[in-house]
Amino acid sequence: MKNYKYFTVPRGKTVIGLTGPIASGKSLALELFVKEGALGISADSVSASLLTDPAFCISILRKFGSDKILTNGLLDKKKLAAEIFSSPAKREWLEGLLHPQILRRIHSLIIRSNKKISVVETPLLFEAGLDECFTYTVCLAAPDKILQARALRRGWSRAQYKARVKAQLPAAEKSRRADIVLENSGKPAELAEKIRFMCCFLKETARR
């Protein structure tokens, strides 16, 4: 899916697309970029806000059926996730509905910010064909045994982890496509140092 028409990098700004396999530390990395002075945006958070919009909820209910994705009269995100991860066609339909609006909202946030560096955490960056939207793409990486252990500590079952992994590009392919790969199999402080160095480099090159 090509969404470039909904998103362009504003002049004078650096916009990083942050991605990585499940449990690779994307949320932590986003927090660390923010500590270094960048604007941090989570595409998942923007998506979640859209799912509270009545117009989008109605469209989703019509597609999936209220009996499948409602709990106590409210949209159940876990049920919705189970539906889309079990059907590539349903997932593609939902992405087609949400992605253009997500990109418009993210673009608006970046334009309104006075930050020179913006980082957009986008788990399905390459899968959604968004790699050309950013100045640089950064992918977090770690061995699968570490990723799976982290997912299990979050309360996921092995079956859930494998289903989510299967729905995404292989971790090695994400790394291959990225402009920059940050290894994150160690302590948070190690990742923090890598991100600090990267931000210093970007700020320095921006001055030239």
Is residue 205's pLDDT more than 90?
Answer: no
What is the C-alpha to C-alpha distance for residues 168 and 69, in angstroms, rounded to an integer?
22
Q: What is the pLDDT of residues 129-139, one digit of tens each?
A: 898 889 999 99
Which residue ranges make up each domain of the chain? 8-207
Is residue 18's pLDDT more than 90?
Answer: yes
Compute the average pLDDT of residues 74-97.
84
Compute the average pLDDT of residues 50-70.
84
Compute the average pLDDT of residues 103-120.
95
Is residue 1's pLDDT more than 50?
Answer: no
pLDDT for position 29: 98
Superfamily grouping for domain 8-207 = P-loop containing nucleotide triphosphate hydrolases (3.40.50.300)
pLDDT for position 172: 96
**Percent of the chain residues topping a pLDDT of 70:** 96
Q: Which of 24-28, 54-58, 198-202 bottoms out in mean pLDDT, i.e. has the lowest?
A: 54-58
What distances in angstroms separate CA 160 from CA 6, 45, 85, 122, one per listed residue? 32, 21, 10, 20
Is residue 3's pLDDT more than 60?
Answer: no
pLDDT for position 7: 78
Is residue 2's pLDDT more than 90?
Answer: no
**Percent of the chain residues topping a pLDDT of 90:** 58
- Tokens 């982290």 correspond to what residue? 150
- Give Cα 203 to chain centroid, integer Å: 24
What distances in angstroms separate CA 10 from CA 13, 53, 110, 138, 201, one per listed residue? 6, 27, 8, 19, 20
What distances in angstroms separate CA 109 from CA 39, 41, 102, 112, 117, one per listed residue? 9, 8, 11, 5, 12
pLDDT confidence band for 170 (50 / 70 / 90): very high
Rg (CA), the chain: 18
Compute the average pLDDT of residues 71-96.
83
Compute the average pLDDT of residues 46-65.
87
